[in-house]
Amino acid sequence: MTTLPTYFISHGGGPWPFMKTEYGQTYAKLEATLQDMPRQLGVTPKAILVISAHWEEAEFTVQANATPGMIYDYSGFPEHTYHISYPAPGSPELAKQVQALIEQAGFAAKLDLQRGFDHGTYSALFPIYPNADIPIVQLSLKAHLDPASHIALGRALAPLRQQGILIIGSGLSYHNLRQFGPSGYAASREFDDWLQDTLIQSDSIRRVEKLLAWSQAPSARAAHPREEHLLPLMVALGAAQEDVASCVYHENTFMGGLTVSSFRFG
């Protein structure tokens, strides 16, 4: 079977794919790149494993719900966005396999039988697979937010790529909600320049070294006061092992002037 690439997706804000009337063309470029992913892959994944920036637990936790519901983890949006449905099935079988791989790597791992999909999953996946017909399993971050643990987590998950499982880290390359718009222009651009150089120009050893020390990058803490939206990238990169990176989405006018990007490994 073909070894699937891994992705880090900048997933945008809230339930944006379901707000075309309100947002107009704001997310047109991001949406187009997400819609292109099935073509890039060339095959339909057997299942999708999503590491969402919007789920943290004391230990790595795997969604093992066969029929996940919806988590409307946002506020201040139109009423209709609290009735969104993305009825993709879960996969308890894959969840147990993910748990076993994590435990084999020396980490504790739990199953969550109740967890639904948060917007880090359905806002990213709806443009890619609008029919919601591919099984999806979510995997949490570990709450201490340590880069090394999340890169190691990705390495533990790498065998899934040979089994038709698509691994997606869903976050945002810039995530400072207090500077979300033109005021974040400089910081987002500086950090994105560093990220592009780190992922695309550095070899696999050097890029890991640089990501482990990401907080020393230009404008790092201005771009990510808290790193939960960056850590899904660490997992995608760890699972990619030595595969090369390419930038599959990039714009510098996002939400009024932010620079944001998404990456594929492999």
CATH number of the domain that residue 41 is part of: 3.40.830.10
Quote the mean pLDDT of the chain: 95
- Tell me what pLDDT residue 149 has: 97
Task: Answer for the pair 191, 33: CB distance below 8 angstroms, yes or no.
Answer: no
Give residue 179's pLDDT band: very low, low, confident or very high (50, 70, 90): confident
pLDDT of residue 237: 97
pTM beyond cutoff 0.95 = yes
Q: Which range of residues forms the domain containing residue 144? A: 6-265
Per residue in 77-116, pLDDT (tens digit) is 999 999 999 999 999 999 999 999 999 999 999 999 999 9
Model confidence at 1: pLDDT above 70:
no
1 domain-assigned: no
Residue 40 pLDDT:
96
pLDDT tens by residue, 205-233: 999 999 999 999 999 999 999 999 999 99
Number of domains observed in the structure of the chain: 1
Mean pLDDT of the 240-247 span: 95
Distances (CA, A) of 182 to 10, 31, 177, 257: 18, 21, 12, 5
**What pLDDT, on the 0 to 100 scale, is given for residue 180?**
81
Query: Which residues sit opposite 261 in a β-bridge?
Result: 250
CA distance 148 to 255: 31
What's the pLDDT tens digit per position in 5-49? 999 999 988 999 999 899 888 899 999 999 999 999 999 999 999
Segments in the chain forming alpha helices (H) = 20-23, 28-35, 37-41, 92-104, 119-128, 147-157, 185-196, 204-212, 220-223, 231-240
Residue 177: pLDDT band by 50, 70, 90 thresholds? confident
How sure is the predictor about 256, in pLDDT bands with cuts at 50, 70 and 90?
Answer: confident
pLDDT, tens digit, for every residue of 131-151? 999 999 999 999 999 999 999
pLDDT at 255 over 90: no
